């Protein structure tokens, strides 16, 4: 697609429920990133995919968080047993592999999660 | 560990004023990349500029200019003759060089409000 697409744009859920957030990267972009943006915490890295593999999961805050990527394209971020502190905007970004460490990330508009 | 500090949290200016956004970073790497991203109210982060650690040449692009000083670990961004459309959150970020992983460490952002 022309840009990075994320869905849903807004999600309200009850504490304890599971949620899935979807990211459609730019076609041909092999690298995909998930970030979390919350008040007072800024933008926090969650996970990095190269193709379908996730060589860097160091930012996932707990084992309630998981992510997968299929076909080298769409990625799903799953949060199990949601807690109120999970409320945030979850941003997805993708990039092509041109320069090592210097790739420009293209971000989606984010999925705003509210846990009641 | 890498760290990006944006000491200013909110700046408010009147249209046509010049404004400088400060960024200070910490890294042990000798090779790294610095970025500025803009996040307008729509939510998508928009790439503005990338600089590598070997290139201290400062640049002017239209109303934007950047001042990279390795000696003080600063990468400041100036908007000349600000406009209302410049109102956004501005993030400074630092890239680790670990293979193809372009994971970014972000500062907490500066909210710029330009009043007519």
Per-residue pLDDT tens over the stretch B39-70: 998 888 999 988 888 877 777 778 999 999 99
Q: Please provide residue B72's backbone torsions phi and psi, each rounded to the nearest 5 degrees.
A: -110, 5
Q: Which residues of A touch B (CB under 8 A)?
A: 3, 31, 33, 41-43, 45, 48, 50, 55-56, 89, 91, 93, 95, 97, 100-110
Q: What was the pLDDT predicted at B79?
A: 96
Q: What was the pLDDT predicted at B51?
A: 87
% of chain A beyond a pLDDT of 90: 78
Mean pLDDT value of segment A53-63:
93
Check whether B116 has a pLDDT greater than 70: yes
CA distance A9 to chain B (A): 11
Q: Please provide residue A34's backbone torsions phi and psi, each rounded to the nearest 5 degrees.
A: -115, 135
Number of cross-chain residue pairs from A and B with Cβ atoms under 8 Å apart:
73
Kindly report, residue by residue over B71-96, the tens digit of the pLDDT.
999 999 999 999 999 999 999 999 87
Check whether A99 has a pLDDT greater than 70: no
Q: What was the pLDDT predicted at B57?
A: 72
When pLDDT is cut at 50, 70 and 90, the band that residue A72 belongs to is confident
CA distance A39 to chain B (A): 9
By CA distance, what is A54's nearest residue in B?
A: B101
Q: d(Cα A83, Cα A85) in Å, to the nearest integer?
A: 5
Q: Which residues of B touch A (CB under 8 A)?
A: 31-33, 35, 37, 42-47, 50, 52, 91, 95-109
When pLDDT is cut at 50, 70 and 90, the band that residue A1 belongs to is low
Check whether A50 has a pLDDT greater than 80: yes
Burial class (CB in 10 A: 0-12, 13-18, 19+), B49: middle
């Amino acid at each position: 697609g022309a840009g990075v697409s994320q869905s849903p744009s807004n999600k309200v859920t009850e504490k304890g429920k599971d949620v899935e957030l979807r990211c459609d990267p730019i076609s041909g972009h092999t690298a995909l990133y998930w970030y979390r943006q919350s008040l007072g915490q800024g933008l926090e890295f969650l996970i990095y995919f190269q193709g379908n593999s996730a060589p860097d999961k160091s930012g996932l805050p707990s084992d309630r968080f998981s992510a997968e990527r299929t076909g080298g394209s769409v990625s799903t971020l799953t949060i199990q047993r949601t807690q109120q502190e999970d409320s945030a905007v979850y941003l997805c970004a993708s990039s092509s592999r041109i320069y090592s460490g210097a790739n420009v990330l293209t971000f989606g508009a984010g999925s705003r999660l509210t846990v009641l | 560990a890498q760290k990006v500090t944006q000491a200013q949290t909110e700046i408010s200016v009147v249209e046509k004023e010049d404004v400088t956004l400060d960024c200070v970073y910490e890294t042990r790497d000798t090779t790294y990349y610095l970025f500025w991203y803009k996040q307008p109210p729509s939510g998508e982060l928009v790439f503005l500029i990338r600089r590598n650690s070997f290139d201290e040449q400062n640049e002017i692009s239209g109303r934007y200019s950047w001042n990279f000083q390795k000696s003080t670990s600063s990468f400041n961004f100036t908007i000349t003759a600000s406009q209302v459309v410049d109102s956004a959150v501005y993030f400074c970020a630092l890239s680790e060089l670990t293979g193809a992983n372009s994971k970014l460490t972000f500062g907490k952002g500066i909210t710029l409000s330009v009043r007519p």
